[in-house]
Structure 1
Amino acid sequence: MDTRAEPRTLDTATRLASVDIVIPVLNEERALPGCVSTLADFLRAGFPLPWRITIVDNGSTDATWPVANALAAEFERVHARRIDVRGRGAALRAAWRESPAEVVAYMDVDLSTDLDALFPLVASVASGHSEIAVGTRLAHSARIRRSLRREVVSRGYNALLRYGFGAGFSDAQCGFKAARTDVVRPLMDKIEDDGWFFDTELLLLAEHNGLRVHEVPVDWIEDVDSRVRIVRTAVDDLKGLARVAWSMSLGRAGVGVRRSEPTPTHPDAMVAGRRPARLGPFAVIGLSTVVYALLFLLLRDLWPPAVTNLCALALTGFVTGEAGRRAAPAFLANYALTTMAVLAVPPGPLPEVCAVTATYCLLGFARFVALEDMINGPH
């Protein structure tokens, strides 16, 4: 779509009514019947909004598709569709594009998230208060049971989003989300990933465009039969983050929707004007990038790339005054992504310094853009 057109203002007073809950499945012939039956019983017991369930089989090779068809025939409000492309993102993209509902949602087939959080999730979107709602396992009031490995990976990844991109949400990958259909469709035009990174890309683009993301603390129990490959998924996510940062830096992440400006309730209230963009942080980014590049070149003859990168980042923080305990999460995020970049290029001073400085600059610019969005609203 042409993002140069005047953005369309969202009417936050609209009361949305119907909800389409999507369940993406891949080779889940055993888990699917119990999931659909449990969810349908829960919704029929008193869910206050009109609802339907959509099963999306994305490339199963077992009996998942016949089972989905049988469930659609058994339950009046259950629908089934099949796509040939694998990936949770592909399944959600297909279902959300064609859904007739005003609110689209999804949950994982293992029902790891307690269903009592479903209406609080949907209500903030259906009321018009927020454009997207997400379940979070990392809020203080959330109650979860999962392995230490997944806990460490999840907290590290979400810390990377907060300090590398200035993300306001705490849990990007919880399989429990809802969105206004008229908002999520323009966002999907910009989302490139069809796999697990789809969720993160959706949320980063939403916040980049000034949309409101509401979080609901959930009760969550890990499925011991999970098919997620944690290490491979983490690597793919890091690649996706670099791509999104690049897209934001080039101004390609804008969409044609935005929140309406707030209006004063009191008749004597004044609406504050937009504050001018702050150039200070941008100047610091440029200075620190130059210092970082020079230090990396000077130290590269002494140590391997990963060690050189660590020392160059630490010295840059000291020289520019960015070092400190509060900067530790941002430092770790920078080190993770820049090290991945330097190890991905052919050995040699020139390609290595180009890779790390480009990544460092993109991360700094992404933080700058996120800060300006918070101060001045969406671009």
Structure 2
Amino acid sequence: MTEYPKYSIVIPAYNERLRIIATLDSVVAVVRQKQWDAEVIVVNDGSTDETADLVRDFACQAPEVRLMENPSNRGKGFSVRNGLIHANGEIVMFTDADLSAPIDEAELLFAAIEQEGADIAIGSRWLETSRQTHRQPLYRQIFGRCFNALTRMIMRLPYADTQCGFKAFTREAAQTVFQLQTIERWGFDPEILFIARKRRYKVKEVPVSWAHDARSRISYLRDGLQMLKELAIVRWNALTGRYGKEITEVERADRMD
């Protein structure tokens, strides 16, 4: 009988050769220090640099780590879905490759699920702003807050922070929510939270420490406009019943092709 880990930590990665080794060093060190029964899955999103080779070499010395390859560059949302759906843990989570939220704070998300009965635990930068150790530039804070407010209004989401790349799920919740996900790039976070509420999962928002990484690739103008378009897609999906239907085995296979 195969023995599965308790936790799965998924890290989406695209052209991360400059920081992926430091990230994996930190994650594996915390996993071992805290004695988590965990696997670490790096999902390579069609990188054109040495990201995949670096992860393979690292995994030779760290059995906790394994590499998954997307068929091409599909986006962060696809990468997270690909990793979480194929993860083996009882509790599965994803974190950004820059570790803006320290990985040891994953235990706060795990506790919300294991001790407080949440199905989904989401990290929040805005519930306790004093926990931000390196804040974004003012213009990014303004754009971020405005987009979050607009998202909450359009999607009717009650969360202070929908975009933080630090979220955990029970295995059952992840399998349901991510099989219904349609947005493959930056705007996937509001969609999965919208689906979670529609499917009546208990979502717990958890304040976490967070430090802005100046190397962030997101463009609030270009990607912000795309995310607004994606919010409209989510509302249309809801109106047409896309999130209410059951997922068949055939559809599961088709979604990951």
Q: TM-score normalised to the size of structure 2?
A: 0.88
1:71 aligns with 2:58: yes
The CA RMSD measured in Å over matched residues stands at: 1.9
Equivalence for 1:118: 106
Take 1:85 and 1:181, find their aligned partners in 2: how far apart are those partners? 26
* CA distances 1:300-352 after superposition (whole Å, capped 9, x unpaired): xxxxxxxxxxxxxxxxxxxxxxxxxxxxxxxxxxxxxxxxxxxxxxxxxxxxx
Equivalent runs, 1:163-174 vs 2, <5 Å: 163-174=153-164
Over 3 Å counting, the alpha-carbon distance change for 1:17 and 1:99 in structure 2 is closer
Residue 152 of structure 1 aligns to which amino acid in structure 2? I
Equivalent runs, 1:103-182 vs 2, <5 Å: 103-127=91-115, 129-140=117-128, 142-144=130-132, 145-182=135-172
1:128 CA drift (Å): 6.9
1:157 CA drift (Å): 1.4
* CA distances 1:139-161 after superposition (whole Å, capped 9, x unpaired): 13552211112111111111112
Equivalence for 2:48: 61
1:169 CA drift (Å): 1.5
Answer yes or no: is the 8 Å Cα contact 2:41–2:66 preserved in 1.
yes
Partner SS state of residue 221, structure 2: helix
1:127 CA drift (Å): 4.4
1:77 CA drift (Å): 0.8
* CA distances 1:235-258 after superposition (whole Å, capped 9, x unpaired): 11111111111222233322559x
1:220 aligns with 2:210: yes
- Aligned match for 2:196, one of 187, 193, 206: 206
1:115 CA drift (Å): 2.9
* CA distances 1:250-290 after superposition (whole Å, capped 9, x unpaired): 33322559xxxxxxxxxxxxxxxxxxxxxxxxxxxxxxxxx
Take 1:105 and 1:152, find their aligned partners in 2: how far apart are those partners? 28
* Unaligned stretches of 5+ residues in structure 1: 1-15, 258-379
Q: Which has the higher contact order (CA 8 A, sep 6+)?
A: 2
Take 1:199 and 1:163, find their aligned partners in 2: how far apart are those partners? 15
Residue 192 of structure 1 aligns to which amino acid in structure 2? T
Take 1:64 and 1:131, find their aligned partners in 2: how far apart are those partners? 32
Take 2:129 and 2:103, find their aligned partners in 1: how far apart are those partners? 16
Runs of 4+ in 1 over 3 A off after TM superposition: none
Over 3 Å counting, the alpha-carbon distance change for 1:127 and 1:17 in structure 2 is farther
Equivalence for 1:19: 7
* CA distances 1:341-378 after superposition (whole Å, capped 9, x unpaired): xxxxxxxxxxxxxxxxxxxxxxxxxxxxxxxxxxxxxx
Number of equivalent positions: 241
Partner SS state of residue 189, structure 1: helix
Take 1:22 and 1:202, find their aligned partners in 2: how far apart are those partners? 16
Take 2:178 and 2:228, find their aligned partners in 1: how far apart are those partners? 20
* Unaligned stretches of 5+ residues in structure 2: 248-257
Equivalence for 2:252: none
Partner SS state of residue 230, structure 1: coil
1:229 aligns with 2:237: no
Residue 125 of structure 1 aligns to which amino acid in structure 2? I
Partner SS state of residue 240, structure 1: helix
Take 1:121 and 1:242, find their aligned partners in 2: how far apart are those partners? 29
Over 3 Å counting, the alpha-carbon distance change for 1:255 and 1:182 in structure 2 is farther
- Indicate the structure with greater helix content: 1
* CA distances 1:124-143 after superposition (whole Å, capped 9, x unpaired): 22447111111101113552
Larger radius of gyration: 1
Equivalence for 2:186: 196
Answer yes or no: is the 8 Å Cα contact 1:169–1:213 preserved in 2.
no
1:30 CA drift (Å): 1.4
Partner SS state of residue 187, structure 1: helix
Q: Percent of counterpart pairs with the same letter?
A: 30
